[in-house]
A and B are shown apart, each in its own frame.
Chain A
């Protein structure tokens, strides 16, 4: 891992509107490309463990596909149940690679 974080994928592997699950320090992380902007949050919903990578994008929020908890991709904060959240990671691009940092 360098200062930018760990390289987890090639940029072209996650086209706009899509997501990919990577593992970072033993944790599942969901990386999203929202119209060219990249976001990374913990993949498992704190409610019942639903995979957020399979959720529905709503602007810059992701809705858990199981029971509908909605998370802001920037902060990881749950929007419809504010007392909950998922970890949010910083994402950067380096030489065509995506780097994720806790």
Chain B
């Protein structure tokens, strides 16, 4: 895919997302938390610290006393899956904005997940399979271990190991993760676990030996790609999941050249199946879905990073760069100071 075309699409899709802020921004009223977190991920990837500030503040405002979030912002009961997604955005926002209020909120998230972990290392959420649910707190802990404070790292280390071990033990011999209750085909689960939990651990100095697991997952994903470049019967969501996962894993295990034809084909399919003039649907020909639109932007941003010469660009865009200092813009810090 042409990088100029990717940059132009990122710009126009990001403008579109901004034009429908009322539909996803917590600053505009009650929202679906999963959608709000998807949108915040895009803002963070775009490097828009100033725009992320009010969203991060609103995220903190909607956090429950137990440290989690509900599926809808007005729900009072916390749910593991969406809480992990919000926690990931919060710690990444914290790395950019560096403020005690955000750090305090990250600690509340950490405690929420430490309290909720089962003895075998898993986390549960009735809306999702256990493997998928577990991958998200593990992913949050990956980022904590990569960019959190020393105190944060000490708090999560043991739980992270148990969670990661649960995931590694759940991988099948063929490289896929199969969830018989929710995802017997394994496509989405393998994509999520490959990118969210397993391969990120490669970036951590104290990681378990996960490279063979990551390689097997990548091979599984490539083997299950359809001839048109999509995955799972032209499923836009799962095609984006598999593409992102393969981008990250291939970069981290230095298999970019081998994977490039498959990934270029996937990107072509994703671009050919947009809704017009903006956004992406769940399936080709269907109406625009905002969550999928955020995913589409996320894929483009990650593809852009994948094409950079510096291999660390990819891990940076996923938020996993151990010890990487992030310098906030002075104007942003000033605004945060005034608001707290």
Contact = CB atoms under 8 A, between A and B. Distances in A.
B233 to A, nearest CB: 7
B282 A80 contact: no
Interface residues of A, number: 16
B179 A68 contact: yes
B295 to A, nearest CB: 11
Interface string B150-178: 00000000000000000000000000000
Contacts of B282: 49-51, 54, 65-66
B283 interface: yes
B182 A69 contact: yes
Interface residues of B, number: 22
A37 interface: no
Interface in A80-101: 80-81, 83
Contact of B237 (A47, A56, A66, A69): A66
A-side interface mostly? loop
B128 A67 contact: yes
Contacts of A48: 34, 291
B232 interface: yes
A56 B291 CA distance: 22
Contacts of A83: 126
A69 B286 CA distance: 20
Nearest to A84: B127
B34 A65 contact: no
11 contacts: A51-B282, A51-B283, A54-B233, A65-B233, A65-B282, A66-B237, A67-B182, A67-B188, A80-B182, A81-B127, A83-B126
Q: Which 10 A-B pairs have the closest CB atoms?
A: A68-B182, A68-B183, A80-B181, A54-B283, A65-B235, A66-B237, A81-B126, A51-B282, A47-B127, A80-B182
Interface of A: 47-51, 54, 56, 65-70, 80-81, 83
